[in-house]
């Protein structure tokens, strides 16, 4: 059991999505599995990586003021009946800054970049895929950018998203009382982010920007980066409650209901 405070993390600010109109790809596109599906924040579309080496390129626009710190590189891959063997290498101006190797089965892999890398206008960020096996490799989402680590822990109410979730079971009885069938309905994975005793300034800057984004888009959520760093969920806001003040002032509390998908 964890004895210290668990600080959850989210990655919502994807540079690929933010500058999606500037993204290019070197390989062959499969109709229906277009490149844009890889960073559209949707769980039902996917991008098919061709065999061999191919590259996603993003040249950051001149209009980018200041710099952006990239500290996370997340990839959600789908197995199509064959073991995955896809290596994605993140580079800044040709220099490797991070690598994600997809696991043997479908799932989300979150790679922390340490140290983080700062990029600014006209920098070229690339993701180089090496699909050596020639198997069909689909990427549901790929994202890199600055993660948000919550400043306060959440002691209870967390639903570890990779655990077996709720199921509604209905037994079907015949007129004479025999069980003749059973239907099940898997409940959606749900969770919530409940943070209390937050500094007012953090809520007004970091949280508010996050919430404005998640009202429209999904994001990646890691509930326990220390104890269970592999338990990453693709999350979508279910209910966003307004932040409120709490005692003692000027502390604040926030609450966000979630739908969670792990694969």
Partner 1 sequence: MTYSALASSQGKQAVQIVEIAVERCTRTYGTSPCLAAIGTTGSQKCFNTLSTCQYATAYNPAPLIYRFSSVRIDGLQQPGDAPTIPTLVSLKTDPTVLTPAKGLGVRASVTATIQDHPWPDQFTDPYLSTRTYDPETQGSFWGKWLRRHRFYQNRIMTIYTGFLNEDGSYDIANFKTRKYIITQISGPTISGQVTITGKDPLRLVDDDKRKWPTASQVKLATAVDAVITTVVVADTLDELSFWWNQGQRYIRLEDEIMHATAISGLGTGTVTLTVTRASMPTFYDFAQNVAAAHAVDVTAQWCWTYDDVMIYDILYDFLSTIVGIDTAFLPYSEWKAEIDANFSYLHFSCMLAKPAGMKTVLQELTELPILLWWHEREQVIKLKGFRFIQTLPAQLNDSDSIIAESVSVTEDVTALATESWIYFAPTWPLANMKQIQTYRVIDIAANADRESANQYGAPYVKAVASRWIPPAGASLAATLNTTNLTQYQDVRKAIAFTVDPKDDNYWVGDLVGISTKYVQDEYGAPAVRNYLITQAEEVYDNNGLKIQLVALEQFSYARLCTITPPSIAGVGSAPPIYSLASASDKVAFGYMGYTSGTFPDGAPNYVMS
By CB under 8 A, name the binding residues for partner 1: 21, 30-34, 36-37, 40, 43-46, 48, 78, 80-81, 106, 168-170, 172-178, 180-186, 216, 261
Please return the burial class of 253, using the count of CB atoms within 10 Å of its CB with bins 0-12, 13-18 and 19+.
Answer: middle
Show the tokens assigned to 54. 């191919």
Q: Tell me the two tokens of residue 73.
A: 């590189």
Residue placing its CB nearer to partner 1 in the complex, 1 or 169: 169
Whole-number minimum distance, CB 59 to partner 1, in Å? 15
* Of residues 74, 24, 94, 82, the one with CA closest to residue 51: 82
Nearest approach in angstroms of CB 180 to partner 1 is 5
Considering the complex, what minimum distance in angstroms separates the CB of residue 238 from partner 1? 15
**Pick 33 or 202: Cβ nearer partner 1:** 33
Please say which residue, 36 or 160, places its beta carbon nearer to partner 1.
36
Query: Smallest distance from the beta carbon of 64 to partner 1, in angstroms?
Result: 18
Q: How far is the CB of 249 from partner 1 (least distance, A)?
A: 38
Our CB check for partner 1 shows the closer of 91 and 140 to be 140
Q: Based on CB atoms, which residue is closest to partner 1, 21 or 156?
A: 21
> How far apart are CB 114 and partner 1 at their closest, in Å?
33
- Ranges of beta strands (E only) in 6-145 are 9-11, 23-25, 47-49, 52-59, 67-79, 86-92, 95-101, 107-120, 124-131, 137-145
36 vs 103 by CB, closer to partner 1: 36
Give the C-alpha separation, 30 to 95, whole Å: 28
At 34, list the tokens: 């277009």
- Residue with tokens 């326990």, as numbered in its chain: 224
Neighbours of 167 (CB within 10 A): 9
Distance of closest approach, residue 77 Cβ to partner 1, in angstroms: 11
* Of 56 and 254, CB closest to partner 1: 56
* b/e map 90-111, b = 16+ CB within 10 Å: bbbeeeebbebebbeebbbbbb
Distance, CA of 220 to chain centre: 2
């Amino acid at each position: 059991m964890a004895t210290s405070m668990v600080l959850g993390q989210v990655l919502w600010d994807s540079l690929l999505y933010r500058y999606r109109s500037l993204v290019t790809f070197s390989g062959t596109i499969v109709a229906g599995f277009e490149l844009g599906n890889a960073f559209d924040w949707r769980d039902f579309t996917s991008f098919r990586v061709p065999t061999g080496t191919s590259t996603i390129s993003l040249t950051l626009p001149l209009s980018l003021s200041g710099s952006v710190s990239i500290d996370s590189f997340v990839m959600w891959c789908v197995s199509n009946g064959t073991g995955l063997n896809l290596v994605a290498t993140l580079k800044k101006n040709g220099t490797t800054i991070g690598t994600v190797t997809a696991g043997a089965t479908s799932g989300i892999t979150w790679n922390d970049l340490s140290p983080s890398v700062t990029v600014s206008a006209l920098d070229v960020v690339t993701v180089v895929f090496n699909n050596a096996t020639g198997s069909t490799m689909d990427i549901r989402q790929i994202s890199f950018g600055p993660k948000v680590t919550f400043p306060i822990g959440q002691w209870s109410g967390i639903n570890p998203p990779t655990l077996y979730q709720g199921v509604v079971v209905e037994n079907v009885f015949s007129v004479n009382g025999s069980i003749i069938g059973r239907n099940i309905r898997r409940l959606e994975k749900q969770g919530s982010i409940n943070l209390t005793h937050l500094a007012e300034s953090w809520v007004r800057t970091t949280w508010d920007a996050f919430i404005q984004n998640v009202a429209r888009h999904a994001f990646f959520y890691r509930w326990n980066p220390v104890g269970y760093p592999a338990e990453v969920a693709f999350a979508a806001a279910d209910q966003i409650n307004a932040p409120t003040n709490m005692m003692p002032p000027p502390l604040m509390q926030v609450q966000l209901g979630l739908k969670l998908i792990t694969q």
